[in-house]
Chain A
């Protein structure tokens, strides 16, 4: 390892990644639609984990409320489309902006009053309940029944008949998120975030404006998550508070990131791929029925999480590439 700290990846690594991405991109053209959908959902959880990793893995801010940003993204673009004929390609950015604002304001208020660590996590959990209640209560948002969109051949409005374009979109998001994480790691903001993750007081004493940093990273993470929300809405063509605010998304985000290795670029991807693929394989085994298989798989996740956290806190990615 060079003395420059985080060095640029070697040409070999870059080539390997390019090949992997290329393979992933052509994958859907050679498999059944069912596999394309499965792949899309796996990549979706990869992307969510990458977003959460920014706030939790790099800045150390454990949010249990990222589903709020998912919902903001989904509802914003959908309502803009349904009521104002704004294409989701544009609405997606409005959603991201709103989510960034919301994340910034909520966390600013929390940090202003020195709410940290576990208490911050619980506040985020509480905010999920509050927003779930709000979103379920407003008719314009479809109430508890949600909003349905109609499937059509309408690429200008992110509506595709084939499943493949959705797959490519989420793949692009995963790649962009990885690139974004790479850039963040090497930026001043990223270095500040990592320092405050390690020791907030020492970081402050070293000149890190921790208040501002935490908020900015959370806002970025929120905006990124909201992009996934719009994607989700357009992919399922159906949004409802019950699924959007489901703790399942949160668990997947955390599992993938922690098991794969938080605070790393590849960690969330590796972890989510592992769980996604493993889960799909186990669920499709003819041994038990799918509902029971799903529960068994999740029990395994839970145990795995406990073991990893206690024994292998650096996750899978931490198993190699350890510096002195």
Chain B
């Protein structure tokens, strides 16, 4: 039947996209979970990475998927630098200070992109991302499948990193009990910087993986940030599995909203959902609320 295969198609598309959103959200939630900072510029970092990929493709002919692999470590460094220069003084400061500093970052990133690239929509093609995957009656564009797979891998790698490495354990310790972590000698400023760098790199990698099919301009940052926020809240701040689950939900909600209503209603729907969650279940699906 037409409508049931429509539904399946839309749902599948939403699930794939949802994983990429989840990766962005994971980066956001790490930063919040560890140092209690809401980075309003988080989405713009993804946008910056996308433009970086575009530039690499334009001037070096680099395939976006290859670029993504390079952009990850590059943005680790970028994140560390951002932390050192602007974020570190805002940690522990009033919410107003944090908000304004990260909003300042947002302004700088957005207008730098606008200055260099202008406001036109850009796109990048990749031969790797051409074609589609046929799964039964479903037709899944390869680029989306790759974005989803890459995101899932990145999240899994992050989870393993946090679980099994010393860095990861320090990060988790700092997240759950900062004072205790300090007392046992964990260098908190270092840990915060690492967490922020990781969060930045996650957003960057997600953006880079979306480049082959996502239209880019300097103003898409808000969308990413708000979706990351919604997903992080719904999934529970600080929870990786929560972010994945919530990402899938949001991806599907957006896909259906887009398909059956208009794009603007779809966005409104997603945020209506956020507001409901914030009001009635601020801990989200799996999080513990660090108020």
Chain A contacts to B: CB under 8 angstroms: 56, 60, 62, 109-110, 113, 115, 117-119, 121-123, 125-127, 129-134, 136-137, 144, 247, 251, 254, 258, 291-292, 295-296, 298-299, 301-306, 309-310, 313
Tell me how far the C-beta of B35 lies from the nearest C-beta in chain A, rounded to whole angstroms: 13
Instruction: Collect the chain A residues with CB atoms within 8 Å of residue B108's CB.
Output: 299, 302-303, 306
Tell me how far the C-beta of A234 lies from the nearest C-beta in chain B, rounded to whole angstroms: 26
Q: Is the CB of B107 within 8 A of A302?
A: yes
Question: A144: which of B89, B114, B264 is its contact (CB, 8 Å)?
Answer: B264
Q: Is the CB of B267 within 8 A of A118?
A: no
- The complex places the Cα of A302 from the Cα of B102 at a distance, in Å, of 9
Instruction: Collect the chain A residues with CB atoms within 8 Å of residue B96's CB.
Output: 56, 60, 62
Instruction: Collect the chain A residues with CB atoms within 8 Å of residue B275's CB.
Output: 123, 126-127, 130
- The complex places the Cα of A123 from the Cα of B269 at a distance, in Å, of 13
Question: A251: which of B89, B99, B103, B269 is its contact (CB, 8 Å)?
Answer: B103
Known: A133-B269, A136-B262, A254-B103. 18 other contacts (CB 8 A): A113-B278, A115-B278, A115-B279, A118-B98, A122-B278, A123-B278, A126-B272, A126-B274, A126-B275, A129-B267, A129-B271, A133-B264, A133-B265, A136-B264, A137-B265, A305-B103, A305-B104, A306-B101
- The complex places the Cα of A137 from the Cα of B267 at a distance, in Å, of 12
Q: Is the CB of B267 within 8 A of A292?
A: no
Instruction: Collect the chain A residues with CB atoms within 8 Å of residue B268's CB.
Output: 129-134
Q: What is the size, in residues, of chain B's interface with A at 8 Å between Cβ atoms?
A: 44
Most chain B CB neighbours (cut-off 10 Å) among A126, A251, A296, A305: A126
- The complex places the Cα of A129 from the Cα of B267 at a distance, in Å, of 7
Instruction: Collect the chain B residues with CB atoms within 8 Å of residue A130's CB.
Output: 268, 271-272, 275
Residue-by-residue, is B226-255 near A (CB-CB < 8 Å gives 1, otherwise 0)? 100110010000000000000000000000
Q: Is the CB of B111 within 8 A of A299?
A: yes
Instruction: Collect the chain A residues with CB atoms within 8 Å of residue B262's CB.
Output: 136-137
Q: Is the CB of B267 within 8 A of A258?
A: no
Q: Is the CB of A125 within 8 A of B103?
A: no
Instruction: Kindly state whether residue B95 has any CB partner on chain A within 8 Å.
Output: yes
Tell me how far the C-beta of B224 lies from the nearest C-beta in chain A, rounded to whole angstroms: 13
Query: Would A298 and B104 be within 8 Å (CB), given that A62-B95, A126-B271 are in contact?
Result: no
Residues of B103-161 whose CB lies within 8 A of A: 103-108, 110-112, 114-115, 118
Residues of B59-118 whose CB lies within 8 A of A: 86, 89-90, 95-101, 103-108, 110-112, 114-115, 118
Q: Is the CB of A258 within 8 A of B100?
A: yes
- The complex places the Cα of A133 from the Cα of B257 at a distance, in Å, of 12
Most chain A CB neighbours (cut-off 10 Å) among B97, B101, B115, B282: B115
- The complex places the Cα of A298 from the Cα of B269 at a distance, in Å, of 31
